[in-house]
Structure 1
Amino acid sequence: MAVDPEIVAEAGRRAEAAAEAAGVVVRMADPGDMKAIIGLFERTWGPGRSPDRSMLLALDYAGNTVLIATAAGKPVGATLGFLGWSDGLHLHSHMAAVVPWRRSGGVGYALKLFQRAVCLEHGVSEIRWTFDPLIRRNAHFNLVKLGAEVVTFLPDFYGRLDDVGVGSDRSDRFEVRWRLASGRVEQALAGQAHHAWSTTDRLPLNVDFERLRADDPHAAGLLREESRLLFHTATARGLRPELDADNDYVFTSDPADPADPADPADPADPADPADGSRA
């Protein structure tokens, strides 16, 4: 699919600006980067949790987005995505990792905007991934800062992971769709005001769920059960989760793209799962 050259050019400029603001260089990985990328992934999820070097090399050789971010020549972030075609051609963004001391510093944002620019340059206008809906910072990053939209709820999608961050917790996921040239995404990347969603249902996210899971697994498990019941119920009613100005979930039937009310997303439309952080 052809993409307007000006949109492609603007995506490249935005990616460059994001990398500069974060103090990193983002680029497609070279074969010599694979050891460092494996190290970044295993630092995040534990030994053996990264694709091996041969798999990363094959994905990279085929032209998929195996990306690395460096600062002063040292690796500080990486992401992995590959093409999928379930429910339309898209990039399935599977893994993204940033070293702990550079998180919340714009590195993940720079990686994502570079991934977007590469996709648009190659005529791919959609990226999908999944994330744990109870991780507040990820929900804000995905839905508000990037302008992605939730398309389905995937309970216990990966089964029991037993990785560094998740432990024995259930791997519930929201799948999001990032329509790269949409009005919603344009508004998000421009930092425009938060949309006021019409809603009657909400789920507060004022708990640091990762800390709760580590300090009180029982309480975290109760919140997990409460949330999955609410997500199931909302989906059955045709409602889509969004975040309000307080970063709490609200459930709405408003069009997913307020910039284009004539083209609402179907919240119950299943698509091929992806993952932006896998944790």
Structure 2
Amino acid sequence: MSVEPEIVAEAYRLADAAAEAAGVSVRMAEPGDMTPVIGLFERTWGVGRSPDRSMLLALDYAGNTVLVASEGAKPVGATLGFLGWSDGIHLHSHMAAVVPWRRSGGVGYALKLLQRAVCLEHGIVEMRWTFDPLIRRNAHFNLVKLGAEVVRFLPDFYGRLDDVITGSDRSDRFEVRWLLESARVRGALAGTPRPGWEARLRLPLDVDYERLRADDPAAAARLRDRSRALFTDALAQGLRPELDAANDYVFVRPETDATAPPAAPEGT
């Protein structure tokens, strides 16, 4: 589909502003970037966990989003997304990596906003990806800062990964969709306060799950079991997980359970 030029221009403006705020430059990768991109992915997930150079080159050549964020001449972040057509054409954002010392500094946000701008330029108005629902910072980033919304729960989606992040833990995932032109997304990118929610169900995210998984695997496994049962039941009821002001999950019916939802900002 066609996207209005002014919407595309505004998307690039937001991406440029995010990169400037993070102190990086973000751009489409070039062939010479593929080795550093592989290094970033393997630093995050482990040796052998990145697509190889030929695959990245092919994906990039075909027009998918292989993006790199650099601080000066040094790459500090990268992301990979490719087109999909299940339930409609979209970009599936599959991998995103940022060096440890630049995490929580806006690099991932800048990469996501450039992905959004590139998609809109090419008439793609939806992105999707998966994330571990028990990692609180990722839930906040995806649902609040970006304005994505959960569409399904995928128990043990990848099977046993045995990578640096997940280890032997089960790879439960939420799939989210990011409707790039929606009022929800435009409001999130403008920093509009999220609505209050009247919860039908609730799951506190008051534990650092990654630390718990490392320090007490048995307790982490119990939390995984409990959350899996809750997620499965809630989504089967047609409820959607959102985050409240304390960044805990609340399961709601969005059409009825939002209290004082904000209007979309003018001019965004």
Please tell me whether residue 237 in structure 1 is matched to residue 237 in structure 2: yes
What does 1:127-166 correspond to in 2, within 5 Å? 127-166=127-166
Distance 1:177 1:16 in 2: 23
Q: TM-score normalized by structure 1?
A: 0.91
Per the alignment, residue 213 of structure 1 pairs with: 213
In structure 2, how many angstroms separate the alpha carbons of the residues matched to 1:57 and 1:200?
Answer: 47
Provide the C-alpha distance between the structure 2 equivalents of 1:149 and 1:96, rounded to a whole number of angstroms: 18
SS at match of 1:152: strand
Secondary structure of 2:196's aligned partner? coil
* 2:5 aligned partner, one-letter code: P
Mapped contact 1:198–1:254 kept (Cα < 8 A): no
- Higher RCO, Cα 8 Å, sep 6+: 1
Instruction: Note if contact 1:184-1:259 (Cα within 8 Å) is conserved in structure 2.
Output: no
Question: Sequence identity, in percent?
Answer: 77
1:75 alignment partner in structure 2: 75
Amino acid at match of 1:160: R
The answer to whether the 8 Å contact 1:18/1:113 transfers is: yes
CA contact (8 A) 1:153 1:174 kept: yes
Partner amino acid for 2:20? E
| Aligned ranges 1:187-226 → 2 under 5 Å | 187-226=187-226
Summarize deviations over 1:183-221 as a string: whole Å, max 9, x none: 000110000112112223100001000000011100000
Distance 1:7 1:259, change over 3 A: farther
* C-alpha displacement of 1:259: 6.8
Q: Tell me the secondary structure at the aligned position of residue 55 of structure 1.
A: helix
- Runs of 4+, deviation exceeding 2 Å: 255-260
Match in the other structure for 1:249: 249
What residue is the counterpart of 2:124 in the other structure? 124
Structure-to-structure mapping, 1:57-136, within 5 angstroms: 57-136=57-136
Structure-2-length-normalised TM-score: 0.95
SS, match of residue 48 in structure 1: coil
How many pairs align? 260
- Cα deviation code 1:88-142 (max 9, x no counterpart): 0000100000000000000000000000000000000000000000000000000
Q: What code does the residue aligned with 1:129 have?
A: W
